[in-house]
Amino acid sequence: CFFCLSNPQLAQHFIVSIGEESYVTTAKGPLPTSASHRLGCPAHVLIIPLSHSPTLASITDSATRKNTIAEMVKYRRCVATMLAQHGYTAVAFEISRHNGIHFHVQVIPVPDSKLAEVQREFENAAKTNGYTIIEKDEEDENGDSGNEEDFFKVYLGGKKILYISLPPEVRFDLQFGRKVLATILDLPERSDWKSCVQDEKDEIHDAEQFKTLFKVYDFSLQE
């Protein structure tokens, strides 16, 4: 698994922070570019549990599951706080499927000026694709996770989320979240990450720039 830290082939130059139960990397083939905004790097990151599990609910040890959920939420909120200082909202999405490989959350900066478009575009795209999307308040994810069903979830900032249940009969586009955000950010040509892969020099630069921006918000660096 290319998300497991124990994998000797893991591209370690993407890693920007390692916690007790999860870690953060910059994205391979990021949606934004350094030229897309004023952050000096794409700031498209993944928050990944250390446990090799397709869903958070499938982490078998209850203490590890609870601590992983809490730490991933903390990372997401710290990234959101950092981005907010620069005029961006952290729009995050995740796909939880029992036939997946290694669960992760993607976080992409969206200019505050475009935030009003996010919910509308996700709802329109869901309707076009035949998905049923509902609005929810964010659950108290610092506790245990009892949600065993498969789902797609978007965090819109604040406590609002959009939620799509994924029963077995639903065929879901794994690039759905990225494609919608590519439309919102006026980057439709970057909807496929495979066409956005950079050379290693640029990947290293972007990771180092993100670490610089995130340093004062990174709880893993605090004693």
Q: How confident is the model at residue 5 (pLDDT cuts 50, 70, 90)?
A: confident
What per-residue confidence (pLDDT) applies to 223? 63
What mean pLDDT do residues 36-44 have?
93
What per-residue confidence (pLDDT) applies to 143? 45
What per-residue confidence (pLDDT) applies to 40? 94
The dihedral sign for the CA sequence 57, 48, 72, 124: negative
Q: pLDDT tens-digit profile of 60-74?
A: 999 999 999 999 999
CB-side exposure of 206: number of CA atoms within 13 Å?
Answer: 26
Q: Which residue type does 162 have?
A: L
Beta partners for 47? Answer: 24, 105
Q: How confident is the model at residue 194 (pLDDT cuts 50, 70, 90)?
A: very high
pLDDT exceeds cutoff 90 at 217? yes
Query: Quick one: tokens of 139?
Result: 């659950």
What mean pLDDT do residues 46-51 have?
97
Q: pLDDT tens-digit profile of 58-113?
A: 999 999 999 999 999 999 999 999 999 999 999 999 999 999 999 999 999 999 99
Query: Which residue would you say has higher pLDDT here, 6 or 131?
Result: 131
Residue reference for tokens 């956005």: 196
* Phi/psi at 199 (5° precision): -80, 165
What per-residue confidence (pLDDT) applies to 141? 45
What mean pLDDT do residues 182-205 have?
96
Q: pLDDT tens-digit profile of 139-156?
A: 654 445 556 789 999 999
Q: Could you report how far apart the first and last alpha carbons of the chain are, in Å?
A: 31
Residue-level length of the chain: 223
What per-residue confidence (pLDDT) applies to 72? 97
Query: Quick one: tokens of 55?
Result: 């869903």
Query: Quick one: tokens of 30?
Result: 């990021």
